[in-house]
Amino acid sequence: MGIESGFLFVLKISSLQLLVDQWVLLGISKLCIIFLGFDVFFVLFYVALACMIGIAVCCCLPCIIALLYAIVDQDGASKEDIEHLSKFRFRKVANEKVASDVQGGGVMIDCGTYSPIEHVISQEDAECCICLSSYDDGVELRI
């Protein structure tokens, strides 16, 4: 009886160890399945988020482009803006020294006041900065 009971005892211990190993493996596999579920959830979440951002860009981008086009499409200053600028009449001056020892290109006379104020301008300022042609005598300028 001693040997049989020892064998039975070893058999019971080994089967208990096998049972414990199965429970450990089962616990690890459950943990792996849980982590795999989280991974699938986050992958689906990020794919859905990327799709939503893509759809938002596709839907909003034409509106943004149209808004920017409307802002940029202005042809220049309006008549009201131009009327608010000061009006001057240009008068050419020959190559002589004008007030304050400036080689004169011309004199701008303020047209908007009762007592006209004269502003002496140099030769380089006596031409249009856009078309680079010199001002004609008597032309009205808005500055």
Residues 65-121: tens digit of each pLDDT: 888 887 777 677 788 888 888 888 888 886 555 455 555 578 888 877 777 788 888
86 within 8 A of 142, measured Cβ to Cβ: yes
Q: What is the pLDDT of residue 42?
A: 93
DSSP state at residue 95 = S
Q: What is the pLDDT of residue 43?
A: 93
Tokens of 131: 């078309």
Cα–Cα distance measured from residue 128 to residue 100, given in angstroms and rounded to the nearest whole number: 23
User: Which residues, other chains included, contact 90 with Cβ-Cβ below 8 Å and sequence gap of 6+?
Assistant: 106, 107, 108, 109, 126, 135, 136, 137, 138, 139, 140, 141
Residues 51-63: tens digit of each pLDDT: 999 898 888 888 8
Q: pTM here?
A: 0.42
| Res 44 pLDDT > 90 | yes
Q: What is the pLDDT of residue 33?
A: 79
Helix/strand/coil for 102: strand
100 within 8 A of 120, measured Cβ to Cβ: yes
Residues 15-33: tens digit of each pLDDT: 556 655 666 666 677 777 7
Helix/strand/coil for 141: strand
Question: Could you give the count of Cα atoms lying within 13 Å of 69 in the half-sphere of its Cβ?
Answer: 6
| Res 126 pLDDT > 90 | no
123 within 8 A of 89, measured Cβ to Cβ: no
Backbone angles phi, psi at 120, to 5 degrees: -85, 130
